[in-house]
Chain A
Amino acid sequence: MTRVRVTAPRSSAAAPARLPYSRELAENSDVGQVFVRSLIRSQLRLGLVVACGFLVIVAAFALVLAFGPGVAGTRILGIPLDWLLIGAGIYPVIGLSAWLYNRAAARNEARYCDLAEDR
């Protein structure tokens, strides 16, 4: 191996290497483009659904804490409920959303690859 000097990110380095066969196909044919568009649409829809779901849950947390009857004085193990819910309760929701998203996104891609290769 030879040593090279690296100074700055080279934008030429971003140029694509040879694309895999399925991708060349995808770029060059009309049918391929239909598949690509549908993949992009389904990934975007998935992202939006997960994001909205997460935001709805967070908003529900906030609303319950602000207006829920009897929430103000509630304590669990001596810790006020709002501290517990916002301080620790939201993180599992974030993790779960991320995990579900990863599975679904990988499934979308697998479905695309099946379609693109079956032709």
Chain B
Amino acid sequence: MNPAVGLAAFVAVSLATAAIGFYGLRISRTTSDFYVASRTVPPWWNASAIGGEYLSAASFLGVAGLILLSGTDALWFPVGYTAGYLMLLLFVAAPLRRSGAYTIPDFTEARLESKAVRRVTSLVVVAVGWLYIVPQLHGAALTIRISTGLPSWVGSVAVVVVVCLTVVAGGMRSITFVQAFQYWLKLTALAVPVVFLLLVLAGGQTEAAAGLEANPTQLPAAGPYQNISLMVALLFGTLGLPHVLVRFYTNPDGQSARRTTLIVLGLLSVFYLFPTISGALGRVFAPELARSGQADALVLLLPGRLVGGTAGELLSALVVAGAFAAFLSTTSGLVVSLAGVISQDVLGGSVRGFRLAALLAAVVPLGFAFLTDSLALAASVGLVFAFTASTICPVLLLGIWWRGLSDAGAIAGMATGAVLCGGAMVSSALLGPGNSPVWLAQPAAWTVPAAFAVMVLVSRATRKRVPRNVVRVMTRLHVPERPVATER
């Protein structure tokens, strides 16, 4: 790939992000402008923004790479990423919007009337956010190395610098517009090359099918336990992601939160067709990438390999731009929500505190990213989902639907989930890939039920600690905002 093309793509995306961010400055006036865009954002914009923030390095690069490596087993990843939003719609979207909370710690504090719960939730949220930023930076490192030939660290540092500059300078005020733009950029960046490749390659389908079924590596197929555990992680992990909640607040009421989620599901379904096709094309036409350990770079390399010439360069530039849009949007969404939590709980919530917190939120994972090696991107993000599913998901679900939840139960449950799932992640990392038993490598199937069980049992044992405002809060969560009589 021509280094200048890759660099130009990266600079263009960064500038566009900053420009849209700063343009929005003019329409941000009040607190509610900043957080909820005055609730005037149409559902389509809002849904695009949610999609833009959600589709990370794992979706853009990782899914296709994993499909190249492990074929049909990996097809469950995009299904799980999408179905996670279905679970979010069914159990969380409308009540969470009605709770009026901006962040997950806000929600748990209001629901359980406890500062201690707030602090524990904040810790978990920060851990999740940091864990989730690391694979984004790995993705950036890979992309820079492949597209420009510069050393890997340049990519991670560049993403952190761009995100910090925009967040600290206040350029993320119109974050809704930035994220919505990023969704459509990502979709175009994947769809155009894939459609082009399909047109170029039209014909010769019979050999294609044989290529799909061939196994390019000697990796064994995943067993039923792994697939089930993965689905548990992805289905229940999505609804606990810290940067997802604040986006829902942009909806005017619970009903429109549900409508927005429906659109998000449509946008995600359309998007995931393209990494799936990319992965399939890679399996047929570039299986050697799997053997040389470059599976995650498949999406970046495919246009150059199959088309070549100027067209190939242009398509590659588009893909690189989309990849950086993915890293920037997810990272900035996470940094903003983490900075909110850190500055509120640790630094007292001043402007300087927020800026310092934003730096902290971005620089710590940069350190992690240098210390760790990139596994398969989609798989490492899958682990983050397992962690959220074992910690934040139980407290949200039980908090929304069960009156009996107590503060002691919430803390015990989150701690159990964090220790079990975190322990499994650390020990399987220490054992190394391939050596750890499946139940350690994919822990969600047992850590999520364990966290739920502990939360319920401890709440039962501490019935006296159930907050007295539970009736009021539950009413607020579930009763529609407007008298619906006007709607019929």
| A50 at interface, CB cutoff 8 A | yes
Q: A54-B83, A91-B269 are in contact. Are A23 and B280 (CB under 8 A)?
A: no
Q: How far is the CA of A58 from the CA of B483 in the complex (A)?
A: 37
Chain B residues positioned under 8 Å from A91 (CB to CB): 79, 82, 269, 272-273
B56 within 8 A of A: no
Residue of B nearest to A109 (CB): B480
Interface of B is mostly: helix
| B344 interface hit (Cβ, 8 Å) | yes
Q: A91-B82, A95-B266, A97-B86 are in contact. Are A22 and B483 (CB under 8 A)?
A: yes
Q: Which residue of A lies closest to B345 (CB)?
A: A8
Residue B476 at the A interface, CB < 8 A?
yes
A50 to B79 CA separation, bound complex (whole angstroms): 17
Among B100, B209, B483, point to the contact of A113 (Cβ < 8 A): B483
**CB-based contact B269/A95 at 8 Å:** yes
A95 to B86, CA, bound (A): 8
Q: B123 interface residue, CB < 8 Å from A?
A: no
Decide if B75 touches A39 in the complex (CB within 8 Å).
no
- Contact residues of A between 84 and 108, Cβ < 8 Å to B: 86-88, 90-92, 94-95, 97-99, 101-102, 105-106
Q: A94-B269, A113-B480 are in contact. Are A11 and B106 (CB under 8 A)?
A: yes
Contact status B481-A82, CB under 8 Å: no
Q: Are B212 and A79 in contact (CB under 8 A)?
A: yes
Residue of B nearest to A51 (CB): B90
Measured CA separation A102–B255 after assembly (Å): 8
Minimum distance in angstroms from A22 CB to a CB of chain B:
5
Residues of B within 8 A of A95 (CB): 262, 265-266, 269
Q: Judging by beta carbons under 8 Å apart, are A26 and B479 in contact?
A: yes
Per-residue CB proximity of A15-39 to B under 8 Å, as 1/0?
1100111110011000001001001
The minimal Cβ–Cβ distance linking B408 to chain A, given in whole angstroms, is 21
Cβ contacts under 8 Å, B258 to chain A? 101-102, 105-106
The listed residue (A5, A43, A87) touching B280 by CB distance below 8 A is: A87
Asked if A60 CB lies within 8 Å of chain B CBs, one says no
Decide yes or no whether B35 CB sits under 8 A from chain A.
Answer: yes
Interface residues of B in 413-428 (CB under 8 A from A): none
**A20 CB, min distance to chain B CBs, angstroms:** 6
* Docked CA distance A43–B94 (Å): 11
Asked if B50 is at the interface of the complex by the 8 Å CB criterion, the answer is no
Number of chain A residues whose Cβ lies closer than 8 Å to a Cβ of chain B? 65
| In the bound complex, CA of A6 to CA of B339 (Å) | 12
Once the chains are docked, how many angstroms separate the CA of A97 from the CA of B479?
A: 23
Taking the closest CB of chain B, its distance from the CB of A42, in whole angstroms, is 10
Chain B hits for A62, CB < 8 A: 227
Using CB atoms, name the residue of chain A closest to B337.
A9
Q: Which of B101, B209, B479 contacts A80 (CB 8 A)?
A: B209
A49 to B101, CA, bound (A): 27
Distance (whole angstroms) from the CB of B347 to the closest CB of chain A = 8
Find A109's partner among B86, B212, B255, B349 (CB 8 Å cutoff): B255
Contacts of A9 in B (CB 8 A): 35, 102-103, 106, 246, 340-341, 344
B363 at the interface (CB under 8 A from A): no
Residues from chain A with a CB closer than 8 A to the CB of B76 are 86
Tell which of B134-142, B452-460, B467-475 binds the partner: B467-475
Whether B212 contacts A83 by the Cβ 8 Å rule is yes
Chain B contacts of A87 at CB under 8 A? 75, 273, 276, 280
Q: B294-312: which residues lie under 8 A (CB-CB) from chain A? A: none
> Could you tell me the distance between the alpha carbons of A77 and B75 in the complex, rounded to whole angstroms?
19
A40 close to B (CB within 8 Å): yes
How close is B86's CB to chain A, nearest CB, in angstroms? 5
B183 on the A face (CB < 8 A): no
A83 in complex: contacting residue of B94, B227, B280, B471, CB < 8 Å: B280
Q: How far is the CA of A51 from the CA of B212 in the complex (A)?
A: 32
In the complex, whether B199 has a CB less than 8 A from a CB of chain A is no
Q: Are B79 and A3 in contact (CB under 8 A)?
A: no
Residue B72 contacts which of A19, A86, A109 (CB distance < 8 angstroms)? Answer: A86
User: Given A16-B100, A47-B91, A78-B205, A8 and B83 touching (CB < 8 A)?
Assistant: no
Specify which of A39, A50, A75 is in contact with B478 (CB 8 Å cutoff).
A39
How many Å from the CB of A41 to the closest CB on chain B?
10
Check if B109 is an interface residue, CB within 8 A of chain A: yes
> Taking the nearest CB of chain A, how far is it from the CB of B293, in angstroms?
24
The answer to whether B206 touches A8, judged by C-beta atoms less than 8 angstroms apart, is no
Contact (Cβ within 8 A) B476 A98:
no
Which B residues from 110 to 134 make CB contacts under 8 A with A?
Answer: 110
Q: How far is the CB of A77 from chain B (nearest CB, A)?
A: 7
B208 near A109 with CB under 8 A, answer: no
Q: 17 additional contacts, CB 8 Å, given A11-B102, A14-B100, A36-B478?
A: A2-B30, A5-B351, A6-B35, A11-B106, A11-B110, A22-B479, A22-B483, A33-B475, A39-B478, A47-B90, A58-B83, A94-B83, A94-B86, A98-B265, A109-B255, A114-B484, A117-B483
7 pairs from A and B in contact (CB 8 Å cutoff): A1-B29, A11-B344, A51-B91, A87-B75, A105-B94, A109-B484, A113-B484
3 A-B pairs closest in CB distance:
A78-B205, A113-B484, A9-B102
- Spell out B's residues near A (CB within 8 Å): 29-31, 34-35, 72, 75-76, 79, 82-83, 86-87, 89-91, 94, 99-103, 106, 109-110, 205-206, 208-209, 212-213, 227, 231, 246, 255, 258-259, 261-262, 265-266, 269, 272-273, 276, 280, 339-341, 343-344, 349-351, 353-354, 357, 401, 471-472, 474-476, 478-485, 487-488
